[in-house]
Amino acid sequence: MERQIKIGADIKRAIKEETKLSDAAVSYALAFQRHGVESQRVRELALRYGGQVYCTLPECETIHDADGKMIQTFRNGAVIIVDKATSEVALEYKGKLVATYHDVTLQMLSLIQATAEELK
C-alpha cells in the first residue's frame, strides 16, 4: 500500500516558501518517502491546508465467506486466505502454498498484499 497526501499547486508552493525546502523534498515528504522532522512538518502543513491522504492498494477480488474467511484473488493468480478468527494468513500462488503468516495485523496484511501482487 502506498500513501500520498494530495494538495493543489498553490498549497505546495506555500509549503515550499514556508519551509524553505526544494520541490523534490516536499514531493518526497508528501509521498511518505522521507520521514525526518522536516518531512513530518510538510505533511502536517499539507493536512492543515486541506490536503487529503490517499492510499493505493493492489487491485483484487475480495470475498468474505460464512466460515469467517476472507479470500483475495489477484490478477496474477495469487490468492490470500485470511482466517479472521485466528489471524492466520495463507499466501498461495498458482495453487501452491507460498507462505503462512501468524498473528497478522492490518499493517502486515498490506505487506502481504503487496507481496502477492508482485509474484511472477
Residue 49 belongs to domain spanning: 2-56
Q: What is the pTM of this model?
A: 0.59
Distance of CA 116 to the CA centre of its chain: 13
- The answer to whether 99 touches 78, Cβ cutoff 8 Å, is no
Tell me, yes or no, whether 52 and 86 share the same domain: no
| Residues 64, 66: Cα–Cα separation, whole Å | 7
Mean pLDDT of the chain: 94
Give average pLDDT by consecutive 10-residue segment, the chain, 120 residues: 91 97 97 96 97 86 96 96 97 97 92 92
pLDDT at 107: 85
Tell me, yes or no, whether 78 and 93 share the same domain: yes
Q: What are the Cα distances from residue 97, in Å, to 10, 89, 94, 115, 116?
A: 49, 11, 9, 13, 12
51 burial via Cβ count (<10 Å: 0-12, 13-18, 19+): buried
The domain boundary residue, chosen from 28, 56, 84: 56
Q: How many domains does the chain have?
A: 2
pLDDT at 1: 67
